[in-house]
Amino acid sequence: MSRWGPVPAMTAIITCGLSAFALTACGNEDARAVRPAVTGVAAARWGPCAGLPPSQRGGRTDFQCATVQAPLDYARPAGERIDLALVRLKAADTAHRIGSLLLGFGGPGASGLQTFAQSAADYAALGARYDLVAFDPRGVGRSAPVSCASDADMDRITAADATPDTGAEEHAYRASLAAFAQGCADRSGTVLPFVGTANAARDMDVVRTALGETRLDYFGISHGTRLGGGYAHRFPERVGRAVLDGAVGTGTGPMDLALQRAAAFQRALGRFADACAKTGAAACPLGADGTAVAQGVHDLLDRLDAAPLPAGGDRALTQSLATTGVGAALYSEDLWPYLAQALAAAARGDGRDLLVLADAQNGRQDTGRYTNLIAADTAVTCADAPQRYSVDDVREQLPRFRAASPVFGPSMAWGLLACSDWKVPGDDAGQDVSAPDAAPIVVVGNTGDPAAPYAWAPALTREIGGKATLLTLNGEGHGAYDTGNACVQKAVNAYLLDGAVPARGASCS
């Protein structure tokens, strides 16, 4: 057994996409023009949760679910409506209940219903006095979900070479992206123009109304910070107590966001490699020190480019799947022992463990069915950004990406082409998160965050302005509260439960 102890059970991995902006149909909006609440919102009617398997409930049997309706197009509020799916756990201490706390999880593309069902115990302290409510943002899960490809096609797409080295590989990669974009348009063309973060932030005010709350108390994580910032910008007078943890950058374009994330993932890989080497050769056979381990990961991925590994059944571990799997494990320090085990197995010729990590990140379930995580992630990303990059753009930037991360840089650079053939234009109407008149908003950043580099947290604090304040964790993993750090949890709980704003410059280790 390694010094890390037993390998933890696999948990849901919250992804953080590259989306940074908002939606074409919204135009260059003035926040003052979108403040009126949507009228005619019915109170949420709660009932049993169909389709949340008991195995994902963490032993809880008291989840309640509801749907509320929102306009598909906020420019035509009386037109077509879509259903937004909600899940709730009622406050345990009803005598001291504060109200509803809306939880916004990551992605874009991660189902709030599924994530909360798997992780409700992590928020038990808040659930004592709040009704905890999670939702699937529009385009995700059960809220007007975007669909793009069959499960068989998704197997091919996720395994395909995402770092082309030859003209033929480049042609195949571009053709795959174009086919995926066309599939999204064919299957979900009605909803695609309206899935951006700006509209999802407006939906949060519909949810607030349906919950009967005069102000929105909110805890946003990862892409949920984008939603929270967008909500505060549009409805500053309706912000209650709000925490934004694992801040996603707002003032930077997709290329620089991707470049910064590549560097952050490489740094996280280096810290994993150092920790892995210290466990000894038996648990970490890729090298005697951190530099050697990191190089061993790079070399393994290079070998997989030419010779994928068997991974059980008729599946193989390709370079793309292995890169996804390695990155997935860097989201949580708790998964580092599993990553060491998976890399050791791959070094022996067995790709199954790395494939498990990749499948979790890609939304592939044990049944072979995919959630719509990748479809929704791509749809929101492309709706939120006006940039459409070319192959020449990628080729020009590849040296910078490789310098930032030999392991993750090339795939992140080529990933910029995901929106090139998208059938709906995007724009940055939702980029502004300024809310100087809002109640205090607590932004939380983790210095070791690979998916939301720490620099984005102080930047978001400045961009919100006003009474926004920053809380820093000197730690590892994506986000801070869910790492289990007692100092962070105490500070966040004190704010959300008692209104005690952390001191400026507060930090935890």
Under 8 Å between Cβ of 159 and 351: no
| Radius of gyration for the alpha carbons in the chain, expressed in angstroms and rounded | 22
Under 8 Å between Cβ of 416 and 254: yes
Residue 241 sits at φ, ψ, to 5 deg, of -90, 125
* 58 pLDDT tier (thresholds 50, 70, 90): low
User: What pLDDT is stored for residue 377 in this prediction?
Assistant: 97
Q: What is the pLDDT of residues 298-340, one digit of tens each?
A: 999 999 999 999 999 999 999 999 999 999 999 999 999 999 9
The rounded Cα 149 to chain-centroid distance in angstroms is 21
User: What pLDDT is stored for residue 428 in this prediction?
Assistant: 85
Maximum C-alpha span of the chain? 67
Please provide the DSSP assignment of 398-465 as one string. HHHHHHH-TTTHHHHHHGGGGGTT-SS--B-TT-----TTSSPEEEEEEEE-SSS-TTHHHHHHHHH-
With a CB cutoff of 8 Å and minimum separation 6, the contacts of 353 are: 338, 341, 342, 345, 346
Q: What is the pLDDT of residues 463-505, one digit of tens each?
A: 999 999 999 999 999 999 999 999 999 999 999 999 999 999 9
With a CB cutoff of 8 Å and minimum separation 6, the contacts of 198 are: 22, 23, 26, 29, 230, 384, 429, 430
Q: What is the pLDDT of residues 202-254, one digit of tens each?
A: 999 999 999 999 999 999 999 999 999 999 999 999 999 999 999 998 878 89
Does domain 24-146+191-252+434-508 match CATH 1.10.3720.10?
Answer: no
With a CB cutoff of 8 Å and minimum separation 6, the contacts of 103 are: 112, 116, 123, 132, 133, 134, 135, 218, 219, 220, 221, 224
Count CA atoms within 13 Å of residue 73 on its CB side: 12
Mean pLDDT within 56-79:
88
Residues acting as catalytic residues: 222, 449, 478
The answer to whether residue 35 scores a pLDDT higher than 80 is no
Q: What is the pLDDT of residues 145-188, one digit of tens each?
A: 999 999 999 999 999 999 999 999 999 999 999 999 999 999 99
Under 8 Å between Cβ of 304 and 347: no
* Alpha carbon distances (Å) from 284 to 154, 295, 299, 352: 32, 13, 15, 17
The answer to whether residue 193 scores a pLDDT higher than 50 is yes
CA nearest neighbour of 445 among 412, 411, 404, 488: 488
Q: Which amino acid is at 430?
A: G
Q: How many CB atoms lie under 10 A from the CB of residue 367? A: 7
Under 8 Å between Cβ of 424 and 196: no
CA nearest neighbour of 70 among 147, 143, 146, 145: 143
CA nearest neighbour of 191 among 138, 137, 135: 138
**DSSP-based three-state secondary structure for 282:** coil
Full-model pTM: 0.93
Domains of the chain, by residue range, sit at: 24-146+191-252+434-508, 151-188+256-384+387-419
User: What pLDDT is stored for residue 40 in this prediction?
Assistant: 73
Q: Where are the alpha helices (DSSP H) in 279-408?
A: 290-306, 319-329, 336-347, 352-362, 373-383, 391-404
With a CB cutoff of 8 Å and minimum separation 6, the contacts of 86 are: 44, 65, 66, 67, 68, 113, 133, 134, 135, 207, 210
Extract the tokens encoding 209: 């109304």
Extract the tokens encoding 88: 């709730």
Extract the tokens encoding 454: 């720490």
Q: Which amino acid is at 61?
A: T
As a whole number of angstroms, the distance between CA 84 and CA 210 comes to: 11
CA nearest neighbour of 416 among 444, 441, 437, 395: 395
As a whole number of angstroms, the distance between CA 30 and CA 429 comes to: 9
